[in-house]
């Protein structure tokens, strides 16, 4: 008997960036969703004109589309994505934000294979923005970046079963940082400040140019307050702030 086909899930999370979302979906359709067979779009209550109609178009194409009843933040939206993929029995789970483009028909397959080769079960695409232009290195044979970016993330289902979902007490600040920190504490990925990715990930994915500058979170009046609150909550949860770089 042949091996049962594994379910690979990929969900896009989006909010009020319709032109970006359309580019992302186009890149996914051109590249076979990177090899994923469970596909979803999770919208965090977008209000931008045209969103509702476009999401309906995606439903008509057969995609699962979930919409938050109100804008609820990154953590809740990504949790809906993870929950959908776990409930559809995905062994491999990918979350992609609405400013990353697929470049290869087997992007997800390559991430899964690298994780299996290096015996790690959580990786993040590192080349979003300029924070990782320097400092690339290997940690115990795993290619790493010095800073974490959460725009494209891979999880084996075992990771989510053990560490759980995003902590929704983090509101639009540090939610993916803390989640990856937790994965590292349990040994599912490399330790903090050594954020694992594929050495050739830029052959598989790319950011939409200037997408960070066009963030819908950073211009908000509550962005700096959210960062302050996230730091205070982190210290309350773990007893100290981020670990020192080693």
Q: What is the pLDDT of residues 101-119, one digit of tens each?
A: 999 999 999 999 999 999 9
Spatial CB neighbours of 215, under 8 Å, sequence gap ≥ 6: none
Q: Domains of the chain: which residue ranges? A: 8-238
Q: Kindly report the number of other CB atoms within 10 A of residue 196's CB atom.
A: 26
Label residue 89 exposed, middle or buried (CB < 10 Å: 0-12, 13-18, 19+). Answer: exposed
For the chain, list residues with pLDDT below 70. Answer: 1-4, 211-221
pLDDT, residue 1, reads 43
Cβ atoms of 162 and 106 closer than 8 Å: no
Fold of 8-238: Spore Coat Polysaccharide Biosynthesis Protein SpsA; Chain A (3.90.550)
pLDDT, residue 213, reads 58
Spatial CB neighbours of 64, under 8 Å, sequence gap ≥ 6: 39, 40, 41, 84
pTM over 0.85: yes
Q: Kindly report the number of other CB atoms within 10 A of residue 134's CB atom.
A: 9
Chain centroid, CA 116 distance in Å: 19
Cβ atoms of 12 and 21 closer than 8 Å: yes
Residue 176, SS3?
helix
């Amino acid at each position: 008997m042949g091996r049962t086909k594994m379910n690979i899930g990929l969900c896009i999370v989006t909010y009020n960036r319709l032109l970006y979302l359309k580019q992302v979906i186009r890149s996914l359709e051109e590249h076979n969703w990177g090899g994923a067979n469970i596909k979803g779009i999770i919208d965090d209550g977008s209000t931008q004109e045209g969103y509702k109609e476009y999401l309906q178009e995606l439903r008509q194409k057969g995609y699962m589309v979930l919409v938050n009843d109100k804008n609820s933040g990154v953590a809740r939206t990504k949790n809906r994505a993870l929950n959908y993929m776990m409930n559809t029995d995905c062994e491999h789970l990918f979350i992609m934000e609405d400013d990353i483009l697929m470049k290869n028909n087997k992007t997800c397959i390559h991430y899964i294979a690298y994780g299996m080769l290096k015996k790690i079960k959580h990786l993040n695409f590192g080349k979003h923005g300029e924070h990782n232009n320097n400092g690339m290195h290997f940690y115990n044979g795993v290619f790493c970046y010095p800073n974490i970016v959460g725009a494209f993330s891979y999880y084996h289902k075992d990771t989510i079963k053990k560490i759980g979902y995003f902590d929704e007490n983090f509101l639009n600040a540090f939610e993916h940082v803390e989640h990856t920190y937790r994965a590292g504490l349990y040994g599912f990925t490399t330790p903090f400040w050594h954020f694992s990715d594929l050495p050739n990930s830029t052959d598989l994915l790319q950011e939409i140019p200037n997408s960070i500058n066009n963030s819908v979170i950073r211009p908000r009046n509550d962005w700096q307050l959210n960062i302050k609150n996230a730091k205070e909550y982190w210290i309350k949860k773990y007893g100290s702030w981020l670990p020192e770089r080693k």
